[in-house]
Structures are given as C-alpha cells and as structure tokens.
Structure 1
Amino acid sequence: MSAAEPAPGYDDDFLGAPTAVPIPADGRVLRELTYVHFTVLLDPARRLAVATGVNIDGSALRDVARSDDWRLDPRVGADEQAGPDLYRDNDLDRGHLVRRSDPVWGAPAVAEQADRDTFSYANAAPQAAQFNQSMELWLGLEDYVLTHADTYDTKLSVFTAPVLADDDPRYRGVGIPRLFWKVAAWSAPGPDGEPGVAATGYVLDQTPQLDDIDFSDVGEPPAADPPPLGPFRTFQVPVEDIAVLTGLDLGPLVAADRFAAPAPVGVGPRDRWVPLGSLTEVRL
C-alpha cells in the first residue's frame, strides 16, 4: 500500500462468512473512517465512535515500536471528534477502542502504519485513569479468544465502542460513557458444515458508585472537573443484550453467540450478565 492509497479498512469477509461492522438501527448520520485493518464509525454529534471493527490475523502479528502520536483525523472536522482538549489537565485516559496491537500485522510497513493509525482521536474514548484487574481482563480478551479460535483458524474480528447513552454526564462538551461493549468473532463451521462464525460479547462498566450528582456542563466552565469514574467491572453478556443496550444492528453475531446465558432472574437484562474475575471464567 502506497502513501497515496486509502487504507482498506475493515474487511467484512475476513472470516470467510460476511460479518459487517455494526451500524445503528436508527439511521443516524455517521462518518466512516477507514484505517489499516480497521474501521471507525464516528458519531459526529457525540464526537465519539458508535462502533469500530478490526481484523486480526494471529499468524502475521508483528511487534513494532509504539508511536504514541495522538492526532485528530483530518478527514472530519475537529468539532466532530473528541480531541486533546477533552483529556487536558485531568485524570481521563485516551482509551484505545481498537487495541493498538490488534491491526499490527502483515508486511512491516503495513504493520507500522496500522500502529500509527490506532492513535487517531476517532479511535479513542475517555476512560478512568486507574488500572485494575478488570481493565487488564478487558485488554486481554482478544488474546484469550484468539488462542481459542486457533482451534479453527488464526483470524479474529473484534467490534468495540462505548455505549453512547442519552444520559451520559457531560464534560467539556462531550458525553462521558459509563459503559463499553465488545464482541469477538471467529471462524467456525456452521451446522451444515459451511463457513460460519462464532461470537461472544462483553461489557466494561466504569460507572461510579456515587450519590446522584449533576455533572451537566451547561455553560461549559473551563475548569470544571470531569465526571468521577468508578472501578472497572468486566462482564460476559449475551450478544443480543449488547444490541438492545446500544441500538446497533449486530446482524449474524447474535445467532453466532457461544455464551449460554443464564435464565433471567428478577428484573432487567443485567441479571444475565456474568461478572468476570479472570480470563479462565470466560465461556466460549
């Protein structure tokens, strides 16, 4: 790929069976940004991604130097993406949505460009700065599922984004997500032996355990504190619950779910969510 050629982005047919990046069912306006081996669907009204999709070829991954050069994507306006001003002088982290190492595969020059591409602000969302066991779980899920998927193939497609809720607390003009979702999909033969996919879904919760506080940024005072974010909690959840939670069309991923969700108990879909304490608790 030469510098003049556009990045090919996420490949729907990477797993041998069509698996597209999920799109909102409400038909909202999005900006589709393609990078090396991944695509970001940016919601310009929220200034954050509503979905991302990355193809991972485990047999061709490379270890390249980390660029750490965060930058705005020049293909969209600065007012349509949450840039450096959101993260300045506070404890908010620029959390990668497409993990830095996931698209870094292929020829050396391609892998190096993929690493640089992940440092686009369109591929970031604000996360609590403290790291704990649950965050480490979240970062390790792709590796764990990829190892499992090696039974069938060494390829994986992963979809990740924040849950863009209407009541997210606002800070410097940006709604700060409380939840993040992830769906990992890999090649697996279908019941008829034809190419198919298997999938599992996860939610990361950084909701603070605090009293009801109004964090509205009416007037947007420049020195306002960011909304406090609580300890990370990671759950394995039914893929269909992610579709309901986000309003995204997850297509064949719902039927491909390998997670045998427990029967609902009490009220609300969260009764079906299983908290994870380690990767060995993931059900595949």
Structure 2
Amino acid sequence: MDELLQNLTVTAKDYAGRKGFDEDFLGQHVPLPGLAGVESVLLPYTHFSVLMRRDKRLAAVTGVGIDGSTLMDLDRAGISWKLDPRLPAEQQTGERVYTRNDIDRGHLVRRSSAVWGDTVAEAELANEDTFHYTNAAPQAAKFNQGLELWLGIESYLQEHAAQYRSRIVVFTGPIFSALDPVYRGVDIPLRYFKVAAFIHQGGLAATGYVVDQTPQLADLPDVSRPGVTEDVPPLGPFRTFQAPIRDIAELTGLDLDQLVAVDRMPVATTLGAARVGSTWRELGAAEDLDLDFDLKD
C-alpha cells in the first residue's frame, strides 16, 4: 500500500532533472557498461545510473562517480525505500520480496559513495535517490549487514578519494547464473561484482572484485538450479575475491572491454585461455589487494 501511495504522488516528471552517471567524470570517457541482447532500461539518478533488466526485475549494473573532494557525511534518518515511477511496478523488485524474512535490501550504489556535491541540497538528493528499489538487490541479512570486507573494499577506495581529493568510478551489479534460487518470483543472485576505475599516473586504471555468498554451491559445479521456493533460500557465509575484469565480463555479459584492457591485477596480463575463476585471489582484508602499483603513487 505504501508503494502504491508513493506512486500516486510521485511521477516521472519529478525525475526530469536527474543527470545520472557522468561518463566523463574521470576526465576520460568511461561509459556505463552495456548489455547486448537483453531488454533493459537506463534510469538516471543524482550522481549515479542504474541499468535495469526487465526480465530479472533487478539491475544489470549500476555506475557511480565518487568525488573525494566534496563528500559529505549525511545520515539516512527518515528516508524510505520507494519504487521508481519511470518503470512499471511489475518490472521492479519491491517490498514484497523483503517482507517477513531475513532478506535485506542491499544497496548496489552505496549511499555514502553518492553523497557529495557542491551544495548540501545536491548531496541530500543523492542520498534519497539511493533508496530506490531499482538500486537494491535481495541479499541475506548477514551478507548485507556483516559484509565488512566487501564494503571495506569500496571504503578503502572511497577513503583514498577523500584523502587525496581524487575521483573514482565504481560499477556494481549481480552475477546471475543458473544456480540462483527464485524466491517470490525474483532471482536471488548468489554472486555480485564490483569494478573500480580511476586515473593513475595520467592513465585509466581499473580493478575487479567478486563476492560469493554460497561457497558450498560454488564448489560444486554440477549442482542443479535450486528452483522456485517460497522459503528463504539457504545462503552460506560469503567469500570475497579480487578477480580479473575479463572474468566479470564473461560471467555477466557486460561490455567491459575498455576496463579489461587497463586491469591492474598483475595476473590479468597473462590470463591467456585460463578458465574463468581459476586465477581469483581470495581476500581476508583490504590490505590483501593484489595491485601492480600503490594507490598513494
């Protein structure tokens, strides 16, 4: 009912001023990755954009620019999750999926990453925009609330941007697969990816990461699709990996060629025909990141 009332009072015209993700944010043209062969719709917000997959009712990818020189510390008090009136409600994953269970609305674009601007009003609008269901993905509560390392990676990059007053672009999204359980009509992604892009010594650089909340399934390649269930799907402890961006492109179908070419994970230059997943580096802390440079350089 709250979603219905919200959509009666907020219309697509209210979003006319949203500019979305700035593809020239880094001073070099870095577009939001596209997804060929899948019906999608691009939704611009304040400082970020969401490419929605109509078939999955979830985002294929989100893109946000983080301006370390104008980040603000705003709280989330009083902000409610809402549907986006620019997209039919049946093409979004709304409150029904998150009711009476341990499934969280997991932000894809982190709230703190989007909250910046030249004015407080700009930062406040970005803060509110991150609370659209289009920017959420269903995640086990322990996965979302206790994901210190996954959040820590972006925090590490965000703090670097703030400390050195620099800019970073982050693309995030689900990795859909045949193993994903279907809960209340929505696929629950078992894996998520993050790709960070930034300027290093005058050139574009990027790094990629994958989080897996079902290691017991990931280790069993012959497990069949769990199928449709009204019960909350069993989701195990998470593992976080640094992964070649090439692998992320292969798993998601997203066009990441530009960032594959500037991947700063050392093994990325010698992948050859290596099997997807065979060179992933499991992380225990942000300090375990495997880069061929120092972020402070």
Same fold, judged at TM 0.5 (above): yes
1:128-167 equivalent positions in 2, closer than 5 A: 128-131=140-143, 135-148=147-160, 154-167=166-179
The question of whether the paired residues in 2 share the 8 Å contact of 1:40 and 1:49 is answered with yes
Structure 2 residue 248 is the aligned partner of structure 1 residue 245: no
Which deviations, in whole Å up to 9, do the C-alpha atoms of 1:214-251 show, x marking residues without a partner? 6422xxxxx82021111111000011111111111013
1:178 to 177, 185, 190: 190
1:68-79 equivalent positions in 2, closer than 5 A: 68-79=79-90
* 1:165 positional shift: 2.0
2:241 to 235, 240, 244: 235
Q: Return structure 1 stretches of 4+ with deviation > 4 angstroms.
A: 131-134, 147-153, 210-214
Q: Which amino acid letter does the alignment assign opposite residue 283 of structure 2?
A: L
Q: Which amino acid letter does the alignment assign opposite residue 243 of structure 1?
A: A
Separation (CA, whole Å) in 2 of partners of 1:81 and 1:132: 20
User: What 5-or-longer segments of structure 1 have no aligned partner?
Assistant: 191-195, 218-222
The question of whether the paired residues in 2 share the 8 Å contact of 1:134 and 1:234 is answered with no
Which deviations, in whole Å up to 9, do the C-alpha atoms of 1:60-115 show, x marking residues without a partner? 00111214411111110111011100111111111000001111001100100101
1:200 maps to: 207
Counterparts in 2 of 1:177 and 1:240: CA distance versus 1, 3 Å:
same
* 1:175 positional shift: 0.8
Separation (CA, whole Å) in 2 of partners of 1:209 and 1:136: 20
Size of the aligned set, in residue pairs, is: 272
Separation (CA, whole Å) in 1 of partners of 2:126 and 2:27: 22
Separation (CA, whole Å) in 1 of partners of 2:225 and 2:267: 35
User: What 5-or-longer segments of structure 2 have no aligned partner?
Assistant: 1-13, 292-297
1:100 to 100, 111, 117: 111
1:116 maps to: 128
Q: Which has a greater percent of helix?
A: 2
Which deviations, in whole Å up to 9, do the C-alpha atoms of 1:230-274 show, x marking residues without a partner? 11110000111111111110131111111112867x973222000
Separation (CA, whole Å) in 2 of partners of 1:43 and 1:162: 11
1:80 maps to: 91
2:137 to 93, 105, 125: 125
Say which structure, 1 or 2, has more relative contact order (CA 8 Å, 6+ apart). Answer: 1
1:220 maps to: none
SS in 2 for 1:187: strand
TM-score (normalised: structure 2): 0.84
TM-score (normalised: structure 1): 0.88
1:257 maps to: 263
1:11 to 11, 22, 25: 22
Q: Note the aligned Cα RMSD (angstroms).
A: 2.6
* 1:128 positional shift: 1.4
1:193 maps to: none
Counterparts in 2 of 1:177 and 1:148: CA distance versus 1, 3 Å:
same
* 1:152 positional shift: 7.4
Q: Which amino acid letter does the alignment assign opposite residue 249 of structure 1?
A: D
Greater Cα shift, 147-156 or 75-84 = 147-156
The question of whether the paired residues in 1 share the 8 Å contact of 2:105 and 2:136 is answered with yes
